[in-house]
Homo-oligomer: A and B are copies of this chain.
Amino acid sequence: MDATIILVGTELLNGMTVDTNSIYMAEELNKYGIEIRHKLVVGDNIGDIVEAIEYGNSKSDLVILSGGLGPTMDDLTKSAISEFLKVELVVDRDDYMDLKKKYDSHNLVLEDKNLREAEKPYGSQTIINDVGMCKGIYIDKIAAFPGVPRELYNLFPKFLKLLISQGKLEKNIYIKDILVWGIPESVLETKVIHLFDLKGIHYEFLVKDYGIIIRLQTISTNKLSVDKITSGLYKIIGENVIGEDEERLETTIYKYLKEKKYDISLAESCTGGLIASKFIEVDGISSVFKEGIVCYSNESKQDRLGVKKETLDAHGAVSYETCEEMLDGLDTDVKIAVTGIAGPNGGTEEKPVGTVYIGVAAGDKKYIKKYLFNGNREKIRRITMMRAMFEVLKILKG
């Protein structure tokens, strides 16, 4: 089974809005083995929307639209579906009452124009929206959802349940995500590909900026095979595993810190708060995160962390010695110190742009390593963040 996704909205064509809806829908559909064959983006123009539906309908088993369901005159998705299917737009009583209830609960007046929100092509099934006004609709292998991400996230799982209940999707899907970092996709593949040689197991690699997700998918009765593969993965590339399913590098580290009752602090120069900021994305981190020192100037390195002036004079701010003294200037169970040259300027023959020292310590373990990273300022800072956190996790795991 394959699908075409149609995103409706002029703002998506002319570069004002980055589309994340189609990525979300694609990943959800992939879980059930539905591949996205085509994706189209069209403006708020009924002719274009109808043509896009025709195109998708002629090429795939399922057409999913997102956007253009609002109450304003340029919300044309439902009209386009009606035109394509040659059915009327109607308002059924349940949808009207539901909408009325929502308006009342927000003390809003339900104006005539808002009736558009209750309309649907004759014969459509309604998918109820718990977080917004516009319901989703499904009719003749065509589905439509609002473009507002949080409304889509509320509606789309219900749509998938509906397809399952209609026997159109396999209901007993079992999915296991293993998140790895620090190994190139090609190397990863050659190392582990033989594990996937089991019947009924679908696998794929999803390359994200927070790592590579190895997604294993099967029907629930095959769960044991997936578990077998998973333990195989840990044997071969266990060192690179930074999480499972919803876990990310920062949440996995947080898990270990809580478990071991460790607190953590950071001394960041070139990353300049990137690592602190990543940890503090984690809800609850305050129980383990003491502080981060963004010691961008030598003065700060000396005053806040006790780095010696002689050390800075003799070896420079970007050096093994400075990194070690930065690390020693912290006083938690787990520590991270990074100093480097993110560029584009500041590089020298001896210390080119991308030179970074990363120091990590936990319990009685402590080490400082020199790295040479490639890329622009942003990329170097980002990979430094990931590497530093990865090294900390290695200590915590082992």
Contacts and interface: CB of A to CB of B under 8 A. Distances in A.
B48 A37 contact: yes
A27 interface: yes
Given A27-B14, A40-B39, A286-B296, A277 B274 contact: yes
A13 B38 CA distance: 7
B300 A296 contact: no
A294 B273 contact: yes
A291 B283 contact: no
A276 interface: yes
A5 to B, nearest CB: 8
The 10 closest A-B pairs by CB, nearest first: A272-B280, A273-B273, A273-B276, A292-B294, A291-B300, A39-B41, A15-B26, A273-B277, A15-B23, A15-B27
A15 B19 contact: no
Interface string A28-51: 001000011111111100001001
A155 to B, nearest CB: 18
A347 interface: no
B38 A26 contact: no
A294 B280 contact: yes
A1 interface: no
Nearest to A17: B207
Contacts of A344: 283
Copies of chain A in the complex: 2
Contact of A294 (B19, B24, B276, B297): B276
Interface string A263-298: 001101011111111011101111001111111110
Interface string A316-360: 000000000000000000000000000111100000000000000
Nearest to A385: B277
Contacts of A381: 280
13 contacts: A14-B204, A16-B207, A18-B18, A38-B41, A51-B59, A266-B294, A271-B280, A272-B273, A281-B378, A283-B345, A290-B296, A290-B299, A291-B300
A206 interface: yes
Nearest to A345: B283
A366 interface: no
Contacts of A204: 14
A293 B291 contact: yes
Given A14-B204, A38-B52, A283-B377, 7 more contacts: A13-B26, A13-B38, A272-B289, A273-B273, A273-B280, A291-B295, A291-B304
A12 interface: yes
Interface residues of A, number: 71
A20 interface: yes
Nearest to A36: B13
Nearest to A378: B281
A377 B285 CA distance: 12
A55 interface: yes
A279 B274 CA distance: 11
A291 B296 contact: yes
Interface in A136-152: none
Contacts of A377: 281, 283
Contacts of A14: 26-27, 30, 35-36, 204
B283 A277 contact: no
A243 to B, nearest CB: 18
Nearest to A209: B18
B27 A38 contact: no
Contact of A272 (B12, B279, B343): B279
A15 B30 CA distance: 9
A296 B292 contact: yes
Contacts of A274: 273, 277, 280
A280 B283 CA distance: 25
Among A52, A207, A275, A290, max chain B CB count under 10 A is at A290
